[in-house]
Structures are given as structure tokens and as C-alpha cells.
Amino acid sequence: VCEMAFHCVVLFLGMAMSTVYAQIPSTSSYGERGSDLGIQLFAQVARSRPQENVVMSPHSVASILGMLLVGAEGNTRRQILTALRYKKHGPYKMLKRLHKNLTSRENRDLVTIANAIFAQQGFKMEDLFVSTNKANFQCESKNLDFSDTSEAADSINNWVRDHTKGMIPTIVSSDMLDGALTRLVAVNAIYFKGLWKSRFQPENTKMRNFTAGDGKVYRIPMMSQLSVFNIGLASTPFGIKYKVIELPYHGDTISMLIAVPSEDSTLVSEIIPHISTMTIQSWTKLMNQRKVRLLLPKFTVEAETDLEAPLSALGITDMFDQTKANFKQISSEPLHVSKALQKSKIEVTEDGTKASAATTAILLARSSPPWVIVDRPFLFIVRHKATGTVLFMGQINKP
């Protein structure tokens, strides 16, 4: 069965060394604050890959920083708190509630968030670090022997594969681990499986033209359905107009938002810098229910992102610097982050639950509805409505 699935893994490698030592309101929820940092990272990565498909999980970046925050002190801690806009004194109660909300059974669409810390055998982690992460992020702590780098990499990859239902088979290669120096690997995996509330009939999927970011025209499978969607017209502070379409998943707690420039000449990169959780919240007020025939590409995208440069650009620098990183709450042995990676994958297919009777009645109305065709580069956002958390975000230049 074709399903709509997203998967993402974030990995932070901690090394021990002998050396010692967009406009955003403050009222936003913790889910939104973490997402805003992730959206800023996404904007940087998208800027460096203007013609590529990019997919990231803003929430996952925030999760792993939240886990490291527990062990950070001094300036290292200050930099993480500032970038996330978290309150100084233990944001963990809020983060625990957020984790519970996102993974709640009430979602009906499956969101699985798995966190783990792999430490070198014999490496002593502070009890408070381990217990706080277990309580707030349901984080598992495991011991590995990093001196056997290929065995250690296999163990981490097997854990990731199990927690993303096999969709991300590898995140770490043995050459990323240093047999002598690696002390800690922190991993966050997020797996989302959603069914559209109103499904696309596979027989309506046809090959159609899509004008990619490089201006070339490609024939791609385009899904199609006649239904009622929330649609609106938004514009950036510079007056660049773009369409926003909301596609709810069947549990109605999570939806995908598609943003596509109104003018053929406008690049999708021109609207990205303007996106924040506040912008996304403003879309909900602009959109109205309309009956349309929606044509949307069927696509699968996978991307790996090195987070060190974009995080450093946002002021999180000390944790990567072996002379400045301060993780004394993890261990008395000096630690710094040597590698920060995120790997994400998304599949968008026809599958969903059957259209409800009420919708069907509307569909039988006689007027011929307008067509909305997403046949140029676009942005997508998968958002948990109640908390405003952005689980996934991507730019599609060529499906």
C-alpha cells in the first residue's frame, strides 16, 4: 500500500580531547520556538542548494539541541538557549509535554520520535544528564565500543533503521567515528506516516509537465483530485505573491501546507526567507475552503545535511570547538561536537482514507471548479496544528 511517509534522523557525534575547556514573537510555544530555529537552518541550506530538492525536520534539530542543552554549561549553554529562545531555567517540563503531544495516540497519524545516546564503554555520563533526557525525551542510553568503528557504526545504523521502519538504513559510516576519541553519539530519529484525509485516486495520476528550478520541463507523475481544500493567497513583505494550499491528514491534527509562487517568474527561493512559524500561523487566517481540482506531483526525496555550518551561522559555535565546548554536565572529561548530521526522507503518494459523505455531497455540485496545478518548484511544510510544531519542511525543485 502506498503511504505518505516522512523520516528523519539527526546525529551528533561527541568527541573527547585532552584539551580542557525572521521576526519572532516571544509568546510562541516551545514547539514553535524550536521549529523557528529549524526553519532558519532550512533557509540557509536551501540558499546554498537553490536548484536541489531539500528536506529537513526543524523539530528534530531542536530535539537534539534540547538533549545536548541538558549537559551544557556556560557559553555553550547560553548559545543554545539564545538560538532556541528557551527560558534559562529548565525548559524541560514544556519539552516533555510537547514530546507527549506530538507522539500522542490522538493524532491517528503515526508520529514516532526516538532519541538515543550511545556512549563509549566505560565512559561515565552524569546521572542527571541521563535521567533528565530519559524523562523528557524518552531517550535511551546505550554503551558501545567505539574502538571497533565498523561494529559501532553498525549498531547505531541498526537502531536508526529499526526506529524509522527501515526507511533510513544508515546515518553513520565507520570513518566518521574515531576509535580513539569518540565518546558520545546522540541520535534523534523521527518517523511520520500519514494518510491523506481525502485520498488521490491512483487511476487519476497521469504524466504531466513540471517546469523545474533550472527551467527545463520534465514529464512526471501528477496526482489529481476534485475536493474541498483550504486555499489562500499570501505575500511577502516585498509584495511577492504566492498560493498556499492545505492538505489535512486523516487524523486532522497534522497537515501539509504547500506554498507555490503565483508568478511563473518568481523563484521559490524568494519566499523562503520570509517563512517563520508566525508566517505559517498567518496563513491559517488567509485561507478559505474552496472546491478545486488539485494536481500535485507524486514524489520521493531524500537529503543529508551537515548542520555545523548553518548552526554556527546562527551563533551556536562553541560546542563544535574543542577549546571552547563546555559539556561539564555530561562528563568531567572534556567533550565537543565533532559532527552534526541530519538525514531526512519523504514520500508523497496518493493514499489516504476515503472521502467523507459530506465532502462527496459538495463534490456533486454542478459548477465546474477551478484547477490548481502545482507544476513548478514549491515549498512544503508538515505541521502539527495544536502546537504549531513544524515536523518537516522541504523545497522541491524537481520531483
Average pLDDT of every residue of the chain: 84
Dist CA 61 CA 393 (whole Å): 12
What is the rounded average pLDDT of the residues 377-389?
Answer: 92
Q: Please, is 175 exposed, middle or buried when counting C-beta atoms within 10 Å of its C-beta (0-12, 13-18, 19+)?
A: exposed
Higher pLDDT: 304 or 235? It is 235
Is pLDDT above 70 for 355? no
Cell numbers of 138, please? 524518552
Is pLDDT above 90 for 295? yes
Range in 93-107, 202-216, 315-329, 351-365 with the lowest mean pLDDT: 351-365
- Tens digits of residue pLDDT in 212-224: 998 999 999 999 9
Dist CA 306 CA 326 (whole Å): 21
Dist CA 129 CA 125 (whole Å): 7
Highest mean pLDDT among 95-104, 178-187, 288-297, 338-347: 288-297
Measured between alpha carbons, how far is residue 163 from residues 113, 142, 205, 302 in Å?
A: 8, 15, 31, 17
Q: What is the pLDDT of residue 90?
A: 62
Sorting pLDDT into bands at 50, 70 and 90, what band is 356?
very low
Domain 46-194+301-347 sits in CATH at 3.30.497.10
Q: What is the pLDDT of residue 9?
A: 59
Measured between alpha carbons, how far is residue 230 from residues 12, 278, 311, 379 in Å?
A: 38, 18, 34, 16
Higher pLDDT: 382 or 3? It is 382
For 100, phi then psi, to 5°, come to -65, -45
How many Cβ atoms from other residues are within 10 Å of residue 243's Cβ?
Answer: 16
Measured between alpha carbons, how far is residue 289 from residues 247, 268, 286 in Å?
A: 11, 24, 10
Higher pLDDT: 181 or 289? It is 289
Is pLDDT above 90 for 322? no
The secondary structure element, H or E, covering residue 64 is helix 58-69
Q: What is the pLDDT of residue 274?
A: 93
Q: What is the pLDDT of residue 360?
A: 40
How many Cβ atoms from other residues are within 10 Å of residue 28's Cβ?
Answer: 18
Domains of the chain, by residue range, sit at: 46-194+301-347, 202-298+351-393
Sorting pLDDT into bands at 50, 70 and 90, what band is 271?
very high
What is the rounded average pLDDT of the residues 95-119?
Answer: 80
Q: What is the pLDDT of residue 44?
A: 93
Range in 20-29, 188-197, 375-384 with the lowest mean pLDDT: 20-29
DSSP string, 359-388: HHHHHT-SSPPPEEE--S-EEEEEEETTTT
What is the rounded average pLDDT of the residues 236-256?
Answer: 92
- Fold type of domain 202-298+351-393: Alpha-1-antitrypsin; domain 1 (2.30.39)
How many Cβ atoms from other residues are within 10 Å of residue 378's Cβ?
Answer: 22
Is pLDDT above 80 for 337? yes
Range in 44-48, 231-235, 364-368 with the lowest mean pLDDT: 364-368
Is pLDDT above 60 for 34? yes
Q: What is the pLDDT of residue 359?
A: 40
Is pLDDT above 80 for 60? yes
Sorting pLDDT into bands at 50, 70 and 90, what band is 2?
very low
Q: What is the pLDDT of residue 283?
A: 96
pTM score: 0.89
Is pLDDT above 60 for 366? no
Sorting pLDDT into bands at 50, 70 and 90, what band is 25?
very low
